[in-house]
Amino acid sequence: MKAAHWYRLSAAFLAAYGFLVVAHNETETDEIQDETARDACPLRLERRGRCEGEECPYQVSLPPLTLQLPKQFSRIEEVVKEVQNLKEIIHSLRKSCQDCKLQADDSRDPGGNALLLPSTRAPELAGDNRVEELESQVNELSSELKNAKEEINILQGRLEKLNLVNMNNIENYVDSKVANLTFVVNSLDGKCSSKCPNQEQIQSRPVQHLIYKDCSDYYAIGKRSSEIYRVTPDPKNSSFEVFCDMETMGGGWTVLQARLDGSVNFTRTWRDYKAGFGNLRREFWLGNDKIHLLTKSKEMILRIDLEDFNGVKLYATYDQFYVANEFLKYRLHVGNYNGTAGDALHYSKHYNHNLKFFTTPDRDNDRYPSGNCGLYYSSGWWFDACLSANLNGKYYHQKYKGVRNGIFWGTWPGISDAQTGGYKSSFKEAKMMIRPKHFKS
């Protein structure tokens, strides 16, 4: 608007100026030139031509005029051109728009009847309808998008939940299935269908044909001396020797671990704990693979016997005991506690050895993120983060100082009490053994 205003103003002024110049050029000059007078007064009145009676032609000469024009002045021509161009564009657009409308009407009505409608408002109405149609389509699309977004959110939530089904959950599942199957197999043990051989046939069989799965089978055939026996808990795997305790609490116990005198080092590798080490008549760890086979073969209970250096003897039993295979890192499953030594395997929410993996100084499967409990406590055990029990700790012949890496049972009477000089108590003897849950002595 400003540019247009300037243009109009300037054009009017130029026109006036141009006229003056032209008039001046066409004028014949027959007056007397008086240079000094012209210099003295820039505004001059002169007579031009001849007088007719008293009437004479005169002319006024004005001084040269200088006007400051705005800078945009030089762009006026450009602007005018642009305006012209824009006008043409608008015109062509208007035309094409009209064509468009006609085409649209044509396409909607192949007969071209729309063009023949008497009302001149028809194309406009059609346009309005079209807009409404488009609007409703857009609304539809946006609601569909909203639904899609909600679905994406739901799916995202499900995906997050699925992520929680990690290896631990799968292992839990497999373990529980194995435990269930073990229970079913055990309950079927000894139960025969009508096709089974009768008792006479069984009794007439030579004794060497029987498979002794664990010490309770030897007890069942009358063995009463605590000794080394050969067992075959799983016919698909080779047999191996175990020490049987035929005296404690009715006998029939297969011993898994024994500490007596510190003659065997229990700070061992994964391989050692897997295969077993020590002397079956003295101190030893039977071996995780063997423990797995024994506990898989029948539903087992666990008994732990402890004796401290004051001669106090206490015990703990668990009504279920199962150790998973190596693939599942020999995970521990223990049932309900009973006994006198206290339930150190389920000490608290934060110290719970049940369902923990086996850890050795060279294999960290514990729940302590900043290090290896097995390395710190010199042992192979089902560490949590880290322990309330550790029967494979170092054997100390007396009270000791420093890291509590000795044989430990956290619920032992007075074990957590402050000792003079920071001394820690240890155990004189420890023993772990198993027997079938449905053992009959």
Place of tokens 């150190």: 344
| Cα(207)–Cα(217) distance, integer angstroms | 12
Q: Is 308 in the site for Ca ion (CB under 5 A)?
A: no
Q: Is 283 in the site for Ca ion (CB under 5 A)?
A: no
| Cα(347)–Cα(316) distance, integer angstroms | 13
Pick the closer one to Ca ion by CB: 44 or 367.
367
Q: What is the CA radius of gyration of the chain?
A: 55
Pick the closer one to Ca ion by CB: 222 or 369.
369
Ranges within 139-198 binding Ca ion (CB under 5 A): none
Pick the closer one to Ca ion by CB: 289 or 366.
366
The least distance separating Ca ion from the CB of residue 371, rounded to whole angstroms, comes to: 6
| Cα(164)–Cα(153) distance, integer angstroms | 17
Pick the closer one to Ca ion by CB: 272 or 366.
366
Q: What six digits make up the tokens of 115?
A: 């063009």
Amino acid at 46: E
Pick the closer one to Ca ion by CB: 274 or 356.
356
Could you tell me which stretch among 8-16, 193-201, 208-216, 362-370 binds Ca ion (CB under 5 A)?
A: 362-370
The least distance separating Ca ion from the CB of residue 356, rounded to whole angstroms, comes to: 11
The least distance separating Ca ion from the CB of residue 165, rounded to whole angstroms, comes to: 23
Could you tell me which stretch among 118-126, 284-292, 367-375, 408-416 binds Ca ion (CB under 5 A)?
A: 367-375
Could you tell me which stretch among 15-23, 195-203, 333-341, 358-366 binds Ca ion (CB under 5 A)?
A: 358-366
The least distance separating Ca ion from the CB of residue 167, rounded to whole angstroms, comes to: 16
The least distance separating Ca ion from the CB of residue 364, rounded to whole angstroms, comes to: 4
Nearest CA to 56 out of 66, 46, 71, 44 is that of 46
| Cα(419)–Cα(415) distance, integer angstroms | 9
Q: Annotate 43-66 with three-state secondary structure.
A: CEEEECCCCECCECCEEEECCCCC
Pick the closer one to Ca ion by CB: 118 or 369.
369
| Cα(421)–Cα(176) distance, integer angstroms | 46
Q: Which residues contact 21 (CB under 8 A, 6 or more apart)?
A: none
The least distance separating Ca ion from the CB of residue 170, rounded to whole angstroms, comes to: 20
The least distance separating Ca ion from the CB of residue 385, rounded to whole angstroms, comes to: 7
Ranges within 39-98 binding Ca ion (CB under 5 A): none
Q: Which residues contact 406 (CB under 8 A, 6 or more apart)?
A: 393, 394, 395, 396, 400, 424, 426, 427
Pick the closer one to Ca ion by CB: 284 or 376.
376
Instruction: Print the binding letters for residues 200-219 with Ca ion: x by CB under 5 A, - otherwise.
Output: --------------------
The least distance separating Ca ion from the CB of residue 304, rounded to whole angstroms, comes to: 25
Q: Is the dihedral of CA 38, 40, 43, 49 positive or negative?
A: negative
Residue 32: CB atoms within 10 Å = 6
Pick the closer one to Ca ion by CB: 25 or 370.
370
| Cα(315)–Cα(308) distance, integer angstroms | 12
Rule CB under 5 A: choose which of 364, 424, 429, 437 binds Ca ion.
364
CA distances from 251 to 77, 185, 313, 436, 440 (A): 118, 23, 18, 11, 10
Q: Is the dihedral of CA 102, 103, 107, 113 positive or negative?
A: positive
Alpha helices (runs of H) in 189-252, residue ranges in sequence order: 199-204, 215-220
Pick the closer one to Ca ion by CB: 6 or 368.
368
The least distance separating Ca ion from the CB of residue 387, rounded to whole angstroms, comes to: 12
Mark 97-125 as b/e (b = at least 16 C-beta within 10 Å): eeeebeeebeeeeeeeebeeeeeeeebee
The least distance separating Ca ion from the CB of residue 273, rounded to whole angstroms, comes to: 16
Could you tell me which stretch among 19-27, 84-92, 366-374, 394-402 binds Ca ion (CB under 5 A)?
A: 366-374
The least distance separating Ca ion from the CB of residue 383, rounded to whole angstroms, comes to: 8
Q: Is 366 in the site for Ca ion (CB under 5 A)?
A: yes
Pick the closer one to Ca ion by CB: 359 or 426.
359
Exposed/middle/buried for 292, CB within 10 Å: 0-12, 13-18, 19+? Answer: buried
Rule CB under 5 A: choose which of 240, 309, 368, 400 binds Ca ion.
368
Q: Is 362 in the site for Ca ion (CB under 5 A)?
A: no
Pick the closer one to Ca ion by CB: 240 or 368.
368
Q: List contacts with Ca ion (CB under 5 A).
A: 364, 366, 368
